[in-house]
Amino acid sequence: MMVEVAYALPDQQIILPVKVPKGTSAETAILQSGVLAKFPEIDLTINKIGVFGKLSKLDVELRHLDRVEIYRPLIADPKEVRRQRAAEGKVMKKGGGDIAE
């Protein structure tokens, strides 16, 4: 059966097709794809994975045409970024510049 292994950087995306036997785990497909050799920064003990955008474990059994995605750690916490944007917006509203009278 055919599956794909996907990994993306901010400026590059790679999708590797891999032919695997039925019953293959996501971890086995990742190892067979060669993506770990191309991107040595990937650490499967740290990086999370998913199948078609749904968070999965390494031992999940793949089906024909599944896409295994390797996720990078977040650079910034999305909640904190929203808080910062909201705080900046509140400051701008209070001191929104000179008012013409």
Whether 100 is covered by a domain: the verdict is no
d(CA 31, CA 24): 11
For the chain, the domain total comes to 1
**Cβ contacts of residue 40 below 8 Å, gap of 6+?**
none
CA-to-CA distance for 2 and 17, rounded, in angstroms? Answer: 7
In a domain, 99, yes or no: no
Question: Distance between CA 88 and CA 34 in Å, rounded?
Answer: 44
Give residue-wise pLDDT tens across range 37-67.
999 999 999 999 999 999 999 999 999 999 9
70: domain CATH number? 3.10.20.280
CB atoms within 10 A of CB 50: 17
Domain extent for 44: 2-94
Claim: this prediction has a pTM higher than 0.85 = no
pLDDT confidence of residue 39: 93
